[in-house]
Structure 1
Amino acid sequence: MEIFTTLTLELRDGIAIVTLNDAPRRNALSRCMVGELFAAIDQSRALGARALVIAANGPTFCAGANIDDLRDGWMERADPRTDPALLFRRLVEDDRVVVAAVQGPAVGGGFELTLSCDLVIAEEGAWFALPEVTRGVIPNTGLALLPRVVGTRQALQLVLTARRVSAVEALQRGLVNEVVGKGTSLERAIALARAIVGSAPPGALIAAKRHLHAHAGPDWKRVVNSVTDVPRAEWQEGLDAFTEKRKTDFEPLWQDHQCRMGRVEQSS
């Protein structure tokens, strides 16, 4: 097993298991973790892994982007080596089967991480949510990938309301492939990956993934750039409120927006 700062990498019977291992921070996607995920994916390929399983330690699968990194202007000056959207693209375009083993909440970027995997095994009690808009941010990868799974209207509802989706509902909506008992998602994900690579040749699996994504491929340039479309004042208020453990106050921003719209209408 190779141990990184925020995750571990293990090869088991040709299956690479990447385990998020920053439980005190609820496995939040920090700059460090994103960079190490890129490195672990590269290392798994060097080890000859035929499939990839993404798992997590602790009660939370992944709580989304690290707030400190976001407050530090991560969205405004993203480094390709630590850009979550590019990590998600890497997983989508990996020619191997990628399976997520979700043992707890998958929130924001954690939900997007599962959307970037080919198959998802979720444990009872796990749940999914995209709360970004309530913090003045957008789930840029989720906006690209979620409609392909649940349709446009359902995707908009999940994004705009930020409501939680239980594992059972996620199964009904096609967001996960199976719901299993507590403590069993990792072994089930490994068994599923092993069954797939054990019953099909590599060329067929690669071609199947490549053409499936080509038929409904997202505009990754838009995904990467779209996060900057939200005004700084909005996400600054959202992140400040989260850090200060208070309710957001977007009313001044709405009033300013309405004033600007009024000026535009008068000048047109």
Structure 2
Amino acid sequence: MSASAMAGTAALPLGTPPVPGFSGRLEPDRAALAAHITETERLLALLRPRPLRTPAQQEAAERLLGGGRAARSAFLALHAEGVYDELTARRTRHLRLPELIRAAADEFPGLVPTDAQMAAENEYIQAEKDGREIDQAIFCGAILRSATAGRHLIEAMLRPTPRALELLSDYRAEGRVELSSVLVERRGRAGHVTFRNAHCLNAETNELIGDLETAVDLVLMDDATAVGVLRGGEVDHPRYEGRRVFSAGINLKDLRQGDISFVDFLMGRELGYINKMYRGLLSSPEAASWGERVQQKPWVGAVDAFAIGGGMQLLLVLDRVIAEEGAYFSLPAAEEGIVPGLGNLRLSRFTGARTARQVILGGRRIGTADPEFRLLCDEVVAPCDMADAVERAVTELAAPAVAANRHMLGLVEEPLDLYREYLAEFAVVQVARSYSEDVLAKVERRWQRSRGGS
């Protein structure tokens, strides 16, 4: 960035462009939105980057950004389905979420940030960004609120990823693929997916989310595999060195650094590999019934040490959970200040509403000695017996009727439209929380502690 750009100007924009009065017709409203956002961006460019702004400049920036978001929301309230139909050729093209957003930036200028705008934003830590991901969330929420467009997007995200398709022949032949942060290997009739983010207690990062979706795709597409198994690998942390750990949840250091992506992480995990484990991989989109359209397999979770945050969320879509003695589960949403994924939707099915509130709102940790633990876990074993317990579970769940019955259970427990409507709200609420002052302050304090600061 040039010195002149960094210096900026002390002048403040004289006003905020008024939100256009949209007509309800797509073409003139598209032009009106583009003109409004163009002017908004021109005025924003008069200000310094956020880290260098004065309080008055930041106030002006927030007014401009808020006006742009109001215009996008008003436009999408009228045209979400029309926009989606144009981007997908009337739902004949299945675009994954990143592709859909990129297409929207090209075809509807100003509706979502461009790649260049996101690249510039991503040069900064989370607290120093303008929150352009909020604009992406407005778009995602509007698409998901539409039953027609939202269902189509969900189906697009249930298709195999290009990377998994490239690796499939090798996996079928070798029964093993090593990704950067995940190992997937076939053992007998089970596809074992092992988290290997050893440096951060198997916490979730952008890279891990992408690798997990590839691994889940491979397990679901592999004809020789009947059951999937999730387990954490050994970690480097001094307290747990040499031990397996299931997952520490979202990597808050990455969140502080601005490296947790709304599209690839926050939405990608829920619409991607977790939904594929729960609902199956969309392999025959033209088939009449959902059961014929997807490849479904049961999943086993082997929990060593703990399943925190996103790790615990995973357990809520698994068919068998086995934990070692002394393990615990927690969803520290109140402490972190963010929404625990789909935990709010799913946890009460297992524990009842009162315990779910204690866990999500009060930060309650549930350990193997607590009676509620058995509501979330099928079996508790000694660490030395974990492998045998997993093998028994695989044998039981490989029975031919299991996949069909888990599909029918899913229809009752979580209808697709309930899931879609929750995600529509989640998109907007979660991204707002990730830019809120209390969350930014908490992750900064954690960051400073990790560096030995005060």
**Higher strand fraction: Structure 1 or Structure 2?**
1
Q: Deviations over 1:40-71 (max 9, x none)?
A: 11112333211100011123210001223323
User: Is the 1:171–1:178 contact (alpha carbons within 8 Å) kept by the matching residues of 2?
Assistant: no
Aligned counterparts, 1:16-27, within 5 A: 16-27=191-202
1:56 corresponds to which residue? 232
Contact 1:35–1:81, Cα closer than 8 Å, also in 2: no
Q: 1:184 to 1:4 in 2, by over 3 A?
A: farther
Whether 1:239 and 2:450 are equivalent positions in the alignment is no
For 2:413, which of 216, 230, 233 is the aligned residue? Answer: 216
Aligned to 1:227: 430
> CA 1:21–1:75 in structure 2 vs 1: closer, same or farther (change >3 Å)?
closer
SS at match of 1:54: strand
Corresponding residue to 1:141 among 304, 325, 342:
342
SS of 1:35's partner is helix
- Give unpaired runs (5+ residues) of structure 2: 1-175, 235-242, 281-295
Matching residue within 284, 298, 313 for 1:112: 313
For 1:263, the equivalent position in structure 2 comes to none
Distance in 1 of aligned mates of 2:266 and 2:360: 27
Give the Cα–Cα distance (whole angstroms) in 2 for the partners of residues 29 and 221 of structure 1.
Answer: 25
Is residue 371 of structure 2 the alignment partner of residue 167 of structure 1?
no
Bigger relative CO (Cα 8 Å, ≥ 6 apart): 1
Contact 2:320 2:393 in 1 (8 A): no
Q: Distance in 1 between matches of 2:334 and 2:251?
A: 16
Q: Distance in 1 between matches of 2:387 and 2:363?
A: 27
The reply to whether residue 78 of structure 1 matches residue 275 of structure 2 is no
In 2, are the aligned partners of 1:15 and 1:193 still within 8 Å (CA)?
A: yes
TM-score (norm 1): 0.82
TM-superposed CA distance for 1:82, in Å, is: 7.1
CA contact (8 A) 1:136 1:236 kept: no
Answer yes or no: is the 8 Å Cα contact 1:18–1:54 preserved in 2. yes
Residue 127 (structure 1) aligned to one of 306, 325, 328: 328
Shift of 1:216: 1.8
Q: What letter corresponds to residue 227 of structure 1 in structure 2?
A: Q
Distance in 1, Cα, partners of 2:203 & 2:445: 18
Q: Deviations over 1:110-143 (max 9, x none)?
A: 1111222121000002111111221211212111
Q: Tell me the CA shift for residue 241 of structure 1.
A: 2.1
Sort the Cα spacing of 1:102 and 1:171 in 2 relative to 1 into closer, same or farther, 3 A: farther
Name structure 1 gaps, 5 residues minimum. Answer: 247-268
| Alpha-carbon shift at residue 195 of structure 1 (Å) | 2.3
Given residue 62 of structure 1, which amino acid in structure 2 is its aligned partner? S
Question: Is 1:205 the equivalent of 2:402?
Answer: yes
The Cα of 1:206 is off from its aligned counterpart by 2.6
**Amino acid corresponding to residue 376 of structure 2 in structure 1:** L
Aligned to 2:189: 14
Q: In structure 2, what is the equivalent of residue 249 of structure 1?
A: none
TM-score, normalised by the number of residues in structure 2:
0.50
1:102 matched to 2:312? The reply is no
2:220 alignment partner in structure 1: 45
Per-residue CA distance 1:210-257 (angstroms, 9 max, x = gap) = 1211112052442341423536212212211222239xxxxxxxxxxx
- Do the aligned partners of residues 170 and 183 (structure 1) sit closer, same or farther apart at CA in structure 2, a change above 3 Å counting? farther
How many residue pairs match? The answer is 242
Measured on the aligned residues, the alpha-carbon RMSD in Å equals: 2.3
Distance between the aligned counterparts of 2:316 and 2:371, measured in 1? 12
Q: Which amino acid aligns with 2:227?
A: A
Is the Cα contact below 8 Å between 1:9 and 1:40 reproduced in 2?
Answer: yes
Q: Report SS of the residue matched to 1:78.
A: helix
- Looking at structure 1, the residues matched to 253 and 316 of structure 2 have their Cα atoms a distance apart, in angstroms, of 24
AA aligned to 1:205 is V
| Counterpart pick for 2:251 among 52, 66, 79 | 66
Q: Is the 8 A contact 1:55 1:186 kept in 2?
A: no
| 1:266 aligned partner | none
AA at the equivalent of 2:447: T
| Structure 2 residue identity aligned to 1:93 | R
CA contact (8 A) 1:32 1:82 kept: no
Equivalent position of 1:158 in the other structure: 359
Task: Give the Cα separation in 1 of the matches to 2:278 and 2:385.
Answer: 24
- 2-structure distance, mates of 1:161, 1:81: 23
In the aligned structure 2, how far is the partner of 1:191 from the partner of 1:133? 37
Matched letter for residue 394 of structure 2: A
